[in-house]
Amino acid sequence: MISGAAVHAYQELAEALRRGVYEAGRRLPAERELAARLGVSRATLRQALTQLAEEGFLTRSAQRGWFVASPVFSEPPSVLQSFTEMARARGLTPSAQILRRTTRAATFEEAERLGCAPASPVLELQRLRGMNGVPVCLDHNVILAARAEALAEVDMTDRSLYEALRQFCDVVIERSSYSIQAAPATPEVAELLNLAPDAPVLVGQGVSYDAAGVRVMSGVTTYRGDAYRFEADLYRPLRVNVRVTPRSPQ
């Protein structure tokens, strides 16, 4: 049974495992590194790891590391995948045509979404993305210019934005918070995506965070309704075994 700060470490790790942050069968980062990342001491971290191992989520191997046990579920968890990765995973050729690329001051709403000061310089990138030459979606992103200076120079045609961010700007997108809704296509979108006016499209609005949890990018992506499907695994909130102490908790 664990308690105190160890519970926090346990919850964070369990959540990460459920989300598929660490691939099944692979080794976790070293204890010392994990402890630093979770802001907890090694001893406390080991409590959490031991608990997870007892519950069957991890297996331990002395002097080698902690390994993610095979997932209980056969299906892959919902995972953040770039358009390019998704296309390649399906054996299709992704393309990206730049419609607009400017550096300008963020509007008030953009600054709000990005959590930066209003009028901070941002890179605006609008792209028409296709698979095997067929236009599939319209991508409209606003990126903090401070984090993505190099991107103003690079030729982004047919290039993955995630990969470019990592490669040229040393920015790794680790999490995106999305909201998705169905809407009729606006006339411009309909024309770009080669759709009938008011045809249904899937509109995804999202904010992307780097490894430190700092907002880097905000964007709207408009997919053809008939060409794209969004997949996700949803879980009930996790209940943790916490020792009940007679004293007042926390």
Chain positions 54 to 93 lying near DNA, rule: CB under 7 A, are 60-66
What is the distance between the alpha carbons of residues 212 and 201, in angstroms, rounded to a whole number? 33
What is the distance between the alpha carbons of residues 14 and 167, in angstroms, rounded to a whole number? 30
Query: Is 37 one of the binding residues for DNA (CB under 7 A)?
Result: no
Lookup: tokens for 192: 């770009």
Lookup: tokens for 95: 């393309």
Region from 122-130, 134-142, 149-157, 174-182 binding a second copy, contact rule CB under 8 A? 174-182
Shortest distance in whole angstroms from residue 163 CB to a second copy: 12
Contact by Cβ (8 Å): 111, 103: no
Lookup: tokens for 87: 């296309």
Query: Is 242 one of the binding residues for DNA (CB under 7 A)?
Result: no
User: Which parts of 93-172 are beta strand (E)?
Assistant: 94-105, 121-131, 134-144
Shortest distance in whole angstroms from residue 46 CB to a second copy: 13
Chosen residue from 25, 42, 119, 134 binding a second copy by CB under 8 A? 25
Shortest distance in whole angstroms from residue 76 CB to a second copy: 9
What is the distance between the alpha carbons of residues 170 and 219, in angstroms, rounded to a whole number? 20
| Residues 48-107 interacting with a second copy (rule: CB under 8 A) | 59-65, 67, 69-70, 72-73, 75, 77-81
User: 53 or 199: whose CB is closer to DNA?
Assistant: 53
DSSP letter (8 states) at residue 77:
P
Q: How big is the site for a second copy, counted in residues (CB under 8 A)? A: 72
Query: Is 190 one of the binding residues for a second copy (CB under 8 A)?
Result: no
